[in-house]
């Protein structure tokens, strides 16, 4: 495509991967720099903890608005996600984990559209990778091994009795790859790619609109409100996708835990 050369040789530089490498706030180098996503992650934890602590002070039988809102979120994470996926017998120990994953991913995703923060922290792949491989992956394997024993767990996953013998090698291979590599990897990549692509789309429209406004020649300037309008429309779509991705992250995490706990039938 080359350069969109308009007034006085100004060139539109489309946003790319480099726009996601934010310079460190303080510190320097690979290990000691403190960047904006790190600050956002810490702030999200503070916000969630403060929200639930404040909403659960002086609980009343007939809830006020704040308590009702917090109870709705808690009920959603507890019933729709944890209980439906893990089963009503052993979902209770996992409520904090599932609710925490849901609200953590949700608030961090929302940072992408809130004006001052404006960076979805899950669009840096390290954060979803850490969540998937360091939190969800050990939990569901540990829980399965603790309940069924290592041999029983591997037999249940890789060689269940409901699979005919001639299919068994292929089935075991596929299930091994799925449970040990593909499940956590896609769990991380799903939320990362959704946030990355969504932020990129909003940036394209916003930067394109402002470029048309500042460097457009004559009547080309009139095209810039279209850019800004689409940036707003994409922001609404992005809000929906952010809620959906947070729900799906917690839903699949609970699903993997439930599948590890379930006994053969």
Partner 1 sequence: MSNIVLAQAAEAATSINPGLAAIGYGLGTLGPGLGVGLIFAAVINGTARQPEAQGKLQSIAFSTFVLVEVLALIGIVVYFLASTS
Min. distance of Cβ 17 from partner 1 in angstroms? Answer: 6
Residues 25, 49, 197, 223: which binds partner 1 (CB under 8 A)?
197
Min. distance of Cβ 122 from partner 1 in angstroms? Answer: 12
Nearer Cβ to partner 1, position 212 or 250?
250
Binding of partner 1 by 190 (CB under 8 A): yes
Binding of partner 1 by 102 (CB under 8 A): no
Choose one: 63-71, 99-107, 165-173, 193-201; the region binding partner 1 (CB under 8 A): 193-201
Residues 118, 186, 210, 235: which binds partner 1 (CB under 8 A)?
186
Choose one: 115-123, 155-163, 187-195, 223-231; the region binding partner 1 (CB under 8 A): 187-195
Tokens 């039988």 appear where? Answer: 61
Report the b/e string of 18-41 with b at 16+ CB within 10 A: eebeeeeeeeeeeeeeebbbbebb
Our CA angle for 212, 216, 222, nearest 5°, is 70
Provide the H-helix boundaries in the chain: 29-32, 36-55, 65-75, 84-86, 95-110, 126-130, 137-158, 168-177, 183-215, 224-261
- For 57, other C-beta atoms within 10 Å of its C-beta total 8
Distance from C-alpha of 19 to C-alpha of 203, rounded to nearest angstrom: 9
Q: List interacting residues with partner 1 (CB under 8 A).
A: 16-17, 186, 189-190, 192-194, 196-197, 244-245, 247-248, 251-252
């Amino acid at each position: 495509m080359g350069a969109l050369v308009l007034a006085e040789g100004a060139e539109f530089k489309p946003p790319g991967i480099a726009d996601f490498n934010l310079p460190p706030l303080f510190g320097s180098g690979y290990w000691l720099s403190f960047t904006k996503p790190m600050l956002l992650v810490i702030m999200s934890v503070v916000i969630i903890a403060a929200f639930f602590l404040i909403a659960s002070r002086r609980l009343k039988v007939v809830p006020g608005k704040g308590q009702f809102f917090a109870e709705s979120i808690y009920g959603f994470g507890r019933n729709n996600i944890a209980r439906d996926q893990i089963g009503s017998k052993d979902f209770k120990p996992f409520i904090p984990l599932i609710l925490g994953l849901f609200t953590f991913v949700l608030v961090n995703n929302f940072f992408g559209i809130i004006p001052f923060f404006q960076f979805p922290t899950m669009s840096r792949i390290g954060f979803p990778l850490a969540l998937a491989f360091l939190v969800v992956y050990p939990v569901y394997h540990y829980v399965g091994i603790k309940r069924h024993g290592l041999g029983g767990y591997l037999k249940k996953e890789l060689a269940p009795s409901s699979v005919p013998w001639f299919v068994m090698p292929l089935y075991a291979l596929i299930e091994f790859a799925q449970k040990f590599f593909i499940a956590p990897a896609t769990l991380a990549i799903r939320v990362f790619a959704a946030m990355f692509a969504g932020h990129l789309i909003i940036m394209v429209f916003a930067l394109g609109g402002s470029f048309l406004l500042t460097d457009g020649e004559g009547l080309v300037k009139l095209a810039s409100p279209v850019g800004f309008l689409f940036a707003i429309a994409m922001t609404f779509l992005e809000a929906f996708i952010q809620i959906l991705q947070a729900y799906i992250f917690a839903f699949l995490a609970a699903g993997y835990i439930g599948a590890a706990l379930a006994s053969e039938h």
